[in-house]
Amino acid sequence: MCLKMWYKGWPRGVPLLLANSFLMSIGFYALIPNLSVYLTHSLGWTPLLAGVLLMVRQFSQQDR
d(CA 43, CA 53): 13
SS3 of the chain: CCHHHHCCCCCCHHHHHHHHHHHHHHHHHHHHHHHHHHHHHHCCCCHHHHHHHHHHHHHHCCCC
Indicate whether 7 pLDDT > 80: no
Q: How confident is the model at residue 12 (pLDDT cuts 50, 70, 90)?
A: confident
Q: Please report which confidence band the pLDDT of residue 3 belongs to, taking 50, 70 and 90 as the band edges.
A: low
Report the 10 Å Cβ neighbour count for 2.
6
Kindly report, residue by residue over 29-62, the tens digit of the pLDDT: 899 899 999 999 999 999 999 999 999 988 898 7
